[in-house]
A and B are shown apart, each in its own frame.
Chain A
């Protein structure tokens, strides 16, 4: 007898099994997001917008209304939707390239304007969909297709610390956090807080999620976890940088 794993009610079953590579962290993030959508009972009013890159593979992941945009432009599309229909819950889903590189001006300015959207940015330190090029988040010395000898910080600078810069730009009503797929319960809690912060009308809500990309990292299971927990989490500290929901909710 085979037993199907429990899946969130808000998942769109015809699109399963999903298309992410084995060992990819996207599935974990989207499972947490699905459970939160169920728990907050927002399936009917959620608009899920996805960027271009591996995050695009989440396009019909949920049985919620969704829209595809352009690389880096998910943020302004979600802003346009949210400003038009404040009763909707808008979730922008993007990678580190879309959020921190080509779409950084949108991310920065949405934060400054305290746009009441929730953005989830998956940081796997490279451009996965296009074959593993250097991303704004590639660690110093890390080898990618465009840094074959390792990222040289003299040439390309240091990795972008998104939550930290967004924290500096926002006021107290924004929610800013960094989670990791290695800590599922915390990840889910942060995503839930980020959505509650939008639903309760506080303001801009952002979660960066440290994630894995064994395909492009060319790592086995053990090496993948090691890179995530020992390398990435050392450079990118995990935790809530700003939470307006009050201590009791943390």
Chain B
């Protein structure tokens, strides 16, 4: 595949522009999309850049179609992706479910906006539950929550690789701020960093004559027998649990002696990081823990952090009314540490918000 970025270089871009460059660098061949704020510029940049590198685009009639055309394209052996937000993410749960059921290496960029319903077009972290456990399945998905522009670039590239390696649908969970803001980062060709890109391959339409060189492929998505479905779901669960340790990523700072652990994800963790530093400077022993993968969740790592710190309290800070909080509670079921929430759905959280909350609960 043609080089897209060339020499590693500094860049000052919006998150949406970075998604496009990362998808190009990762060898994505086609994007299917439908307009929705705040992901539109992913399509805008892609439609400008893709033809220069022999990549393709189709604006579909809705998000349902965008998700299903991606499902078709990956079955045909192409690295395909989509990007959406809010109500579009709701509609895409249907094709995302198909990708889960059929183990399709679908990649989707989710730039969260406010909800419920059409909410706001600006920013929020209210698509955590939907992206991790949406649909009528078991949440066998990989969900990376990015915090910086560098991470958007790194994890979009990684997203394509884990999707094609492990064959579970993969999500890069950003938000309106990350989509629209500009921040410096370094962009690079994956191979220059020793990252080997997993090559796509067709699931149907393979070479050779049926009955001579190969058998016909019958891809199944619906089962007649309850027992059949049971076996399939259990197999998927087993596969997912087996690979989870290879996928899980998290970030931890100052947890060894912390009296209070501050948990956040995505862009809010930037404020949490600053808050922990400022609290420490004021003599308050705060610790920082951030799940990078929301699915699979670093539950053992968080349990370990609780144990080694001996923290008296945990604070979950998020721009949602308890979506990360609920996820954490189910993941660390049995831990007795009291958990408090700083819930600010639809609005940004800054270090002072977290510091004030910490002081009010310690």
Contacts and interface: CB of A to CB of B under 8 A. Distances in A.
Q: Do chains A and B touch in the complex (CB under 8 A)?
A: yes
Interface of A: 12, 43-45, 47, 49, 52, 56, 59-60, 62-70, 73, 75-85, 88, 105-106, 108-109
A64 B219 CA distance: 11
A64 B76 contact: no
Given A63-B211, A81-B76, A105-B62, A76 B68 contact: yes
A67 to B, nearest CB: 4
A78 B76 CA distance: 10
Please provide the 7 A-B residue pairs with the shortest distance between their CB atoms, ordered closest to farther.
A80-B72, A80-B69, A109-B61, A76-B68, A84-B76, A68-B221, A65-B204
B75 interface: yes
A70 B65 contact: no
B35 to A, nearest CB: 14
20 contacts: A60-B218, A63-B210, A65-B204, A65-B216, A65-B218, A67-B204, A68-B220, A68-B221, A73-B64, A76-B60, A76-B65, A77-B71, A79-B58, A80-B32, A80-B73, A81-B205, A83-B56, A84-B77, A85-B202, A109-B60
Contacts of B78: 84-85
A88 B76 contact: yes
B218 to A, nearest CB: 5
A77 B102 CA distance: 13
A91 to B, nearest CB: 12
Contact of B216 (A66, A76, A79, A108): A66
Interface string B81-108: 0000000000000110010001000000
B217 interface: yes
B342 interface: no
Interface of B: 29-30, 32, 56, 58, 60-62, 64-66, 68-78, 80, 94-95, 98, 102, 202, 204-206, 208-211, 216-222
B69 A76 contact: yes
- Residue among A56, A81, A82 with max Cβ neighbours from chain B (10 Å): A81
Contacts of B61: 105-106, 108-109
B65 to A, nearest CB: 4
A141 to B, nearest CB: 33
Contacts of B217: 65-66
Contact of A83 (B30, B65, B68, B210): B30
A208 B68 CA distance: 23
Contacts of A70: 68, 94-95, 98, 221
A43 B214 CA distance: 12
Given A65-B205, A105-B62, A77 B216 contact: no
Nearest to B30: A84
A245 B50 CA distance: 34
A79 B66 CA distance: 10
Nearest to A73: B68
Contacts of A85: 76-78, 202, 205
A18 B287 CA distance: 64
A150 to B, nearest CB: 32
Contacts of B64: 73, 76, 106
Given A62-B216, A84-B73, 7 more contacts: A44-B210, A67-B221, A70-B94, A70-B98, A80-B70, A80-B80, A84-B77
A64 B69 contact: no
Contacts of B220: 59, 68
A50 to B, nearest CB: 10
B205 A45 contact: yes
Contacts of A109: 60-61, 65
A59 B218 contact: yes
B72 A76 contact: yes
B64 to A, nearest CB: 7
Contacts of A79: 58, 65, 69, 72
- Residue among A60, A77, A106 with max Cβ neighbours from chain B (10 Å): A77
B216 A81 contact: no
A33 B202 CA distance: 25
A142 to B, nearest CB: 28
Contacts of A83: 30, 56, 58, 69, 73
Contact of A69 (B66, B204, B209, B221): B221
Given A12-B216, A64-B216, A73-B94, A80 B71 contact: yes
Contacts of B66: 76
B199 to A, nearest CB: 15
Given A77-B71, A80-B73, A84-B80, A43 B210 contact: yes
B208 A73 contact: no
Contact of A52 (B56, B72, B76, B222): B222
Contacts of B74: 80
Contacts of B71: 69, 77, 80
B136 to A, nearest CB: 11
A47 B44 CA distance: 32
Contacts of A73: 64-65, 68, 94-95, 98
Contacts of B218: 12, 59-60, 65-67
B222 A84 contact: no
Contacts of A88: 76, 205
A75 B77 CA distance: 18
Given A56-B222, A84-B73, A85-B205, A106 B56 contact: no
Given A77-B68, A80-B32, A69 B205 contact: no
